[in-house]
Amino acid sequence: MDNLTHSLVGAVLGQAGLKRTTGLAMPALIIGANLPDVDAACFFWLHGTEHLAFRRGITHGPPALVLLPLVLAGMLWAFDRWQTKRGTRPEARLPVRFGWLYAMAFIGCLSHPFFDWLNVYGIRLLEPFSSQWFYGDTLFIIDVWLWALLIASLWWSRRREKAGAEWMRPARVGIAVGLAYIGVNAWISAKAVQSLPPYKKDNHFGFEVIASPVPFAFWERDLVDGYPSLYWHSRYRAFSGRSERQEVGNPCFVPGWLIAERAETDHQVEAFMYWSRAPFATRADDGSVILYDARFYDPLSRDRFSVALPDVKCEPLP
């Protein structure tokens, strides 16, 4: 998910009562909720599709979720001691207890992979023990409805806190409603997959079905189904069913051995195929091949979610 969502989740957890555990609990929760995204620094040294093979991996796995909160807690604890020595420590701040500070940073970090798992991009939850990708197919990466819910509950809680009233309940209600919203979206995705004929859902021979959430309209799904060479697209609406299936792109035939051979010598192809969930080849304007992922197919703006094979000729599917 986007970092605003992660930050709001950390803040709402704090307003639900966790910020009372120790001084600096709120920054531990908010920063912790974003901390696994330190892997975004890879954009400084990786180019093309190489970042696809690096992101949402090692910094989102179990060892990192234990060590990153420890680093964060140590930095916040040291910051509190530094302010104390300078005489600038706020008087209203609660005593800083390192154990609780680590626990808050850990909870914040733990919320991050949960929300990242909810979209179609995927996450390698078990790195470095396993490189398997996991997909939730539940929320779009930027969900404005979730934003509105989290912001409203946070604003309501802070307003009651300033007025001296009970302030934890609004945040807890926001968490409960947010989890219910996620559950409804998971149900819509499941219904979208069920809208396909039975023979299209058995996943035999590498058949892939993806119910991809769309921006704004949480009740709709971009439904992608097909095989590594050929995919179809349809739009599912929770209240009116599924539209007709249409072929994605202008697919080409590229032998699997050629892609495997190219991946051994070309890091861009290797990274793309490592990350891709629904790979297919399509024809470029010059008759060569471009590899896309059906989840992020946009022929008008070829970007970091595709890789060109300029020396491979596009052949029609057999």
The structural domains of the chain, with segments of one domain joined by +, span 3-185, 199-247, 256-313
| Amino acid, res. 270 | E
Max mean pLDDT range (92-106, 273-287, 299-313):
92-106
| Confidence at 200, pLDDT banded by 50, 70, 90 | low
Q: What is the mean pLDDT of residues 83-111?
A: 96
Straight-line distance from the first to the last Cα atom of the chain, in angstroms, rounded to the nearest whole number: 39
* Model confidence at 205: pLDDT above 60: no
**267 burial class (0-12, 13-18, 19+ CB within 10 angstroms)?**
middle
Cα(166)–Cα(247) distance, integer angstroms: 55
Lowest mean pLDDT among 102-111, 163-172, 219-228: 219-228
pLDDT digits (tens, 9 = 90+) for 227-256: 878 899 999 999 888 888 888 888 889 988
Residue 242's contacts (CB-CB under 8 Å, 6 or more residues apart) are 192, 195, 196, 223, 234, 235, 236
- How would residue 65 be classed by pLDDT, with cut points 50, 70 and 90? very high
**Region 267-281: what's the mean pLDDT?**
93
- pLDDT for the residue numbered 202: 52
**Average pLDDT rounded to a whole number, residues 161-181:** 97
Nearest Cα to Cα of residue 112 among 22, 26, 3: 3
Whole-prediction pTM value? 0.92
pLDDT at 249: 83
pLDDT at residue 256, rounded to an integer? 87
pLDDT of 273 above 90: yes
Q: How many CB atoms lie within 10 A of CB 313?
A: 12
Tens of pLDDT along 14-37? 999 999 999 999 999 999 999 999
**Which pLDDT does position 230 carry in this prediction?**
86
The owner of tokens 């599924």 is 242
Q: How many CA atoms lie within 13 A of 165 on its CB side?
A: 8
Give the rounded percent of residues in the chain with a pLDDT score beyond 70: 96
| Predicted local distance difference test score (pLDDT) of residue 198 | 65
